[in-house]
């Protein structure tokens, strides 16, 4: 009788499932020590499953080349391996679309308040006028110094580990001198939009202006606080939301408001020259004089103007 051929049965998938669990366990263990991202692990390690499965089949065929190999598939193991592979492919597709980066960035961001890089510049005798353009909440103070300076804070959403978004003055302000005028324009803080997030920056600053230099500020419906002290030149404010004006009792200034909805004052009375025809109309004009009114503060196109007097 002829010797019956020896037939070896190999359950394909068993070793692959065991190796997959082993490698997944190793990666998860390493993630605890090296602070690895779970998303990064799932994206990077899953192709190993296909490699292990292919090696398993080729290795058996090589070892059993003198025998008649019979392959039998362990469907439970194959299903488990396939499920892990499908999840890995899904992660890879999502990653290629940039969604995982957006989600990862969102998860690692935090909101913090940081000091602005301080700004300071000496005003020489040729500068007769300072023009500031900003949409941020800001306070303006008059000073005896022949120097314009600014300090404050900004609140923004930072990536984890990032110390600050603004490292120098040029990151948030452009400075230009033309003839006898110094032009300052405050830039927008970094902001962004995505499918899962929206972040923006907010700034609160104080700027000190020489009181004997003409000063003009153009806003964008933002809140502006004015503290001119003993003003010895003229100020102009345009396109503000709310204007809070703190005037010293011994001041010599006339306040003019044009195209304003609300005129408020805690002490002195406004002389209203025209009233709005209906509620919400920015068509109210008024004047107020403190002292002889030698110098002027003109406010044009604002939602509200509120004047308070303070002690010197």
Give the residues across from 192 on adjacent strands: 199
- Residue 142 CA to residue 211 CA, distance in Å, equals 5
- Check pLDDT > 90 for residue 183: yes
Task: Write down the residue that tokens 């082993």 correspond to.
Answer: 22
How far, CA to CA in Å, does 116 sit from each of 77, 153, 172, 204?
Answer: 59, 5, 9, 9
Provide Rg for the chain, Cα atoms: 35
SS3 for 102? Answer: helix
Average pLDDT, the chain: 78
- Check pLDDT > 70 for residue 5: no
Angle at 285 between CA 281 and CA 286, to 5 degrees: 140
pLDDT digits (tens, 9 = 90+) for 28-73: 676 667 666 655 665 566 677 667 767 776 776 666 665 555 556 5
- Check pLDDT > 70 for residue 220: yes
pLDDT digits (tens, 9 = 90+) for 67-116: 555 556 566 666 766 676 676 666 666 666 555 555 555 555 667 788 88
Cβ-based neighbour number of residue 232 at 10 Å: 16
The pair of three-digit structure tokens given for residue 163, joined into one six-digit string? 């110390």
pLDDT attached to residue 104? 54
Cβ-based neighbour number of residue 115 at 10 Å: 11
pLDDT digits (tens, 9 = 90+) for 250-290: 888 999 999 998 899 987 889 888 776 666 556 789 999 98
Residues belonging to the chain: 312
pLDDT attached to residue 113? 81
pLDDT attached to residue 2? 38
- Residue 26 CA to residue 32 CA, distance in Å, equals 10
Using 50, 70 and 90 to split pLDDT, how confident is the model at 22?
A: confident
- Residue 116 CA to residue 154 CA, distance in Å, equals 6
Residue 67: phi and psi, rounded to 5, are -115, 175
How do beta strands 173-178 and 129-133 pair? unpaired
The pair of three-digit structure tokens given for residue 162, joined into one six-digit string? 């990032």
The pair of three-digit structure tokens given for residue 204, joined into one six-digit string? 């609160």
| 189 or 242, higher pLDDT | 242
| Helix (H), strand (E) at residue 281 | none
């Amino acid at each position: 009788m002829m010797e019956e051929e020896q037939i070896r049965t190999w359950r394909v998938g068993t070793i692959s499932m065991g190796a997959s669990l082993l490698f997944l366990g190793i990666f998860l263990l390493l993630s605890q020590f090296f602070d690895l991202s779970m998303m990064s692990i799932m994206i990077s390690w899953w192709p190993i499953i296909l490699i292990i499965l292919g090696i398993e089949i080729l290795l058996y065929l090589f070892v059993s080349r003198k025998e008649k190999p019979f392959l039998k598939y362990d469907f439970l193991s194959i299903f488990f391996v396939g499920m892990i592979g499908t999840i890995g492919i899904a992660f890879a597709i999502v990653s290629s679309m940039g969604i995982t980066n957006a989600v990862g960035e969102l998860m690692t961001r935090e909101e913090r308040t940081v000091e602005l890089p301080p700004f300071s510049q000496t005003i020489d005798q040729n500068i007769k006028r300072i023009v500031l353009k900003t949409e941020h909440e800001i306070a303006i103070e008059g000073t005896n110094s022949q120097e314009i300076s600014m300090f404050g804070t900004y609140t923004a959403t930072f990536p984890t580990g990032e110390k600050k978004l603004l490292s120098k003055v040029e990151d948030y302000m452009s400075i230009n001198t033309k003839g006898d005028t110094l032009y300052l324009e405050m830039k927008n803080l970094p902001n962004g939009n995505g499918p899962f997030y929206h972040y923006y920056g907010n700034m609160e600053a104080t700027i000190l202006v020489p009181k004997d230099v003409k000063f003009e500020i153009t806003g964008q419906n933002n809140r502006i606080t004015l503290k001119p002290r003993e003003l010895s030149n003229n100020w102009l404010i345009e396109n503000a939301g709310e204007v809070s004006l703190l005037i010293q009792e011994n001041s010599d200034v006339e306040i003019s408001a044009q195209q304003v909805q609300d005129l408020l004052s805690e002490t002195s009375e406004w002389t209203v020259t025209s009233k709005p025809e209906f509620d919400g109309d920015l068509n109210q004009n008024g004047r107020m004089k403190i002292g002889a009114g030698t110098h002027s503060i003109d406010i044009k196109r604002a939602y509200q103007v509120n004047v308070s007097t303070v002690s010197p």
